[in-house]
């Protein structure tokens, strides 16, 4: 098998390339490098620079590299930006996927893994979010991911393309410092940034109906997430025409205050957070039910929150050496 990894120079994409390569699969990276970093692509792995909106370029890449499976991670992913630029998000995430699927089906590629998100659920009022929990996204970003799932599923039914839509929960950590997330959009790097600035981390609301009043989330190590892609890819290879939609999480909730306390402990800082007003649309609790992915793929997360914070901190200090404590 040869797998084309769209967005393979990004934070998650680079980890997927690493996991697929280590599992013995041939990989090709397709990335427009708008946020991806070419240096993340391992030596010996071809890199094709291009957008998924460029159908002819996609088709050439599929043919030239004799691609037999696609893992599609290339997408715009910032919730706030999606609210301000919905047309941009629908163009990049939905139209880009449509163009890609058109090329994939025309080329006869048999397997397709789609990067989705827990954002498709919106504000679920349940202890554990199952794959059958109603999807009510609250942002254009979440809408584009849900529309992407519909498009992937419809293509499966119309053409027999084997498909898997993986709904990621909160991703953190790194396989090695050079692969760490360089963005500051998720809780862990946001706390790192505040500590580096000698400022208190922010907690957005402490009056939620949770044990300590702060939001509870399910955190998944990016290495485990990448291994889930390998498991999904192999499940599709083994069962032509299969269609899967799966949560990728640990099934364990951690509050924002708990995460900040753990970050302080790992980094050597001792800076209590400041409470800010709630952010609109933040649900109190979003934790995955992880039993279906275990049953379907035989996959289970192996890393805990301490692993995530420690590995992420090593990557942060590599880029921000002034953050290291003496």
Q: Which of 185, 166, 172 is nearest to 218 (CA)?
A: 172
At 154, list the tokens: 């419809």
Handedness of CA 168, 172, 178, 184 (dihedral sign): positive
Which residue, among 236, 237, 246, has the nearest Cα to 299 in the 3D structure? 246
DSSP 178-229: GGS-----SHHHHHHHHHHTT---EEE-S-SSSTTSS-EEEEEEHHHHHHHH
Mention every residue, 6+ apart, whose C-beta is less than 8 A from residue 289.
Answer: 128, 129, 130, 131, 247, 251
Residue 44, C-beta contacts closer than 8 angstroms, at least 6 positions apart: none
- List, in sequence order, every residue forming a beta bridge with 26; answer none if it has no partner: 2
Instruction: For residue 284, give the nearest of 125, 80, 121 by alpha carbon.
Output: 125
Helix (H, G, I), strand (E, B) or coil at 316: helix
Catalytic residue, candidates 121, 141, 168, 208? 141
Give the span between the Cα atoms of 291 and 288, in whole angstroms. 9
Question: Is residue 90 flagged as an active site residue?
Answer: no
The position carrying tokens 């025309």 is: 106
User: CA 162, CA 156: separation in Å to the nearest integer?
Assistant: 6
Could you list the active site residues?
141
């Amino acid at each position: 098998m040869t797998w084309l990894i769209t967005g393979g120079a990004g934070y998650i994409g680079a980890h997927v390339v690493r996991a697929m390569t280590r599992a013995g699969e041939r990989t090709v990276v397709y990335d427009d490098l708008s946020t991806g970093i070419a240096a993340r692509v391992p030596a010996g792995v071809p890199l094709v620079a291009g957008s998924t909106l460029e159908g002819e370029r996609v088709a050439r890449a599929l043919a030239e590299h004799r691609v037999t499976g696609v893992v599609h991670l290339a997408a715009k992913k910032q919730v706030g930006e999606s609210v301000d630029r919905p047309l941009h998000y629908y163009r990049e995430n939905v139209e880009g996927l449509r163009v890609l699927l058109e090329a994939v089906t025309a080329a006869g590629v048999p397997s397709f893994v789609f990067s989705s998100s827990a954002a498709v659920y919106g504000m679920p009022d349940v202890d554990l979010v199952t794959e059958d929990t109603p999807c009510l996204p609250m942002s254009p970003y979440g809408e584009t991911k849900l529309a992407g799932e519909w498009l992937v599923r419809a293509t499966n039914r119309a053409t027999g393309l084997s498909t898997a839509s993986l709904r990621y929960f909160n991703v953190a950590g790194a396989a090695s410092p050079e692969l760490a997330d360089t963005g500051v959009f998720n809780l862990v790097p946001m706390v790192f940034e505040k500590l580096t600035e000698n400022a208190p981390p922010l907690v957005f609301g402490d009056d939620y109906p949770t044990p300590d009043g702060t939001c509870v989330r399910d955190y998944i190590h990016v290495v485990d997430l990448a291994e889930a892609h390998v498991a999904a890819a192999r499940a599709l290879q083994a069962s032509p025409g299969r269609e899967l939609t799966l949560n990728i999480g640990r099934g364990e909730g951690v509050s924002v205050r708990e995460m900040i306390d753990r970050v302080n402990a790992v980094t050597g800082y001792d800076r209590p957070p400041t409470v800010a007003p709630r952010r609109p649309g933040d649900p109190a609790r979003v934790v995955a039910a992880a039993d279906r992915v275990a049953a379907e793929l035989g996959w289970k997360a192996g890393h805990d929150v301490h692993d995530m914070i420690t590995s992420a901190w090593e990557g942060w200090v590599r880029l921000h050496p002034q953050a290291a404590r003496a």
